[in-house]
């Protein structure tokens, strides 16, 4: 390291006298002061450069030490490292990458297949919607036809009911009891006639009238078989002495036992 005394101060140029100048002392003083200032700056720069060189040498030595340490540590790690394990890990990683690529390919294929399936499903839905629309139209047509048929059947029933109600007194079973409440019954009112009147007030199904033999009068819509009533007999021209115990002025009821069922036979048998 150089001291301040070793620094050379011979840096200024010698003063030369110009032939045209007078060589005054003021000019000499100014030149000496400038030289001094330059020498001061030069000395400061020299000192700073020396300090920088010292610091740089220290830094280089420190870097060398660190490099040597890292080199030793790296050598130790390389000596303890097993390359077989590293190779196995690299192979496993490569196998995983191959499997992942295969799975990615399968996934792409499945996605493409799913797209085709969705397209087919969409077409199937369109065809089903058309079929459902046609079925709905057919159902609507069937409902309309059923409504028309039901209205026609109702009209026919109403017309048949009116006609049957109008002509119900014509197609009767042929009994002595009338369906009309104000119509009078011929002959004396017995218990069997009252029962027949009560039964005749209930509705009954239409039956084809059976032909009645003999001189019977059939009136009304009473239930059961036709009841035979004899008209008032004419007075015989013979004398009353022929039948002294018989009164011909009173009408009597003739019961057709052969044509009666069990229920009515019980009713009529009570009048005997």
pTM above 0.85, yes or no: no
On whether both 256 and 185 belong to a single domain, the answer is yes
- The better pLDDT of the pair 120, 196 is held by 120
If asked whether residues 156 and 218 sit together in one domain, one would say no
| 182 and 260 fall within a common domain | yes
Domain count, the chain: 2
Can you tell me the distance from the alpha carbon of 217 to that of 206, in angstroms, rounded to the nearest whole number? 20
Same domain for 147 and 228? no
Residue pair 186/165 in contact (Cβ under 8 Å)? The answer is no
Q: Is position 112 within any domain?
A: no
In this structure, is residue 270 part of a structural domain? Answer: yes
Lowest mean pLDDT among 15-19, 192-196, 232-236: 15-19
pLDDT over 70 (residue 57): yes
Residues in contact with 186: Cβ distance below 8 Å, sequence separation at least 6, in sequence order? 176, 217, 219, 229, 251
d(CA 221, CA 230): 19
Per the structure, the complete domain to which residue 151 belongs is given by 143-168
Answer yes or no: do 186 and 209 share one domain: yes
Helix (H, G, I), strand (E, B) or coil at 78: helix
Specify the pLDDT at position 218. Answer: 46
More confident residue, 65 or 240: 65
Residue 56 pLDDT greater than 80, yes or no: yes
CA distances 91 to 85, 87, 94, 186, Å, are 10, 6, 5, 126
Residues 198 and 217 in one domain: yes
Residue 21 vs residue 107, higher pLDDT: 107
Q: What's the pLDDT score for residue 63?
A: 92
Q: Answer whether residue 120 is part of any domain.
A: no
The mean pLDDT value for 48-61 works out to 91
More confident residue, 108 or 229: 108
Q: Are residues 195 and 211 in the same domain?
A: yes
């Amino acid at each position: 390291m150089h001291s301040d005394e070793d620094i050379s101060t011979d840096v200024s140029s010698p003063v030369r006298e110009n032939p045209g100048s007078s060589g005054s002392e003021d000019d000499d003083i100014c030149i000496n002061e400038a030289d001094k200032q330059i020498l001061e700056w030069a000395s400061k720069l020299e000192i700073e450069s020396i300090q920088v060189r010292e610091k740089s040498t220290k830094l280089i030595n420190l870097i060398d030490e660190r490099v040597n340490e890292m080199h030793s540590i790296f050598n130790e790690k390389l000596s303890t490292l097993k390359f077989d394990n590293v190779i196995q890990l690299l192979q496993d990683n490569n196998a995983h990458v191959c499997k992942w690529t295969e799975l990615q390919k399968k996934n792409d294929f499945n996605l493409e297949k799913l797209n085709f399936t969705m397209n087919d499903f969409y077409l199937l839905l369109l065809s089903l919607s058309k079929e459902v629309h046609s079925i709905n139209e057919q159902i609507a047509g069937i409902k309309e036809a059923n409504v028309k048929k039901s209205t026609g059947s109702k009209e026919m029933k109403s017309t048949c009911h009116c006609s049957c109600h109008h002509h119900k007194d014509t197609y009767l079973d042929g009994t002595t009891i009338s369906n009309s409440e104000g119509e009078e019954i011929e002959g004396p009112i017995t218990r069997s006639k009252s029962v027949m009147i009560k039964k005749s007030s209930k509705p009954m199904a239409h039956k084809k009238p059976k032909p009645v033999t003999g001189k019977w009068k059939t009136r009304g819509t009473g239930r059961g078989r036709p009841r035979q009533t004899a008209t008032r007999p004419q007075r015989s021209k013979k004398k009353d002495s022929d039948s002294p115990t018989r009164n011909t002025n009173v009408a009597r009821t003739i019961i057709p036992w052969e044509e009666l069922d069990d229920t009515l036979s019980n009713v009529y048998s009570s009048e005997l």
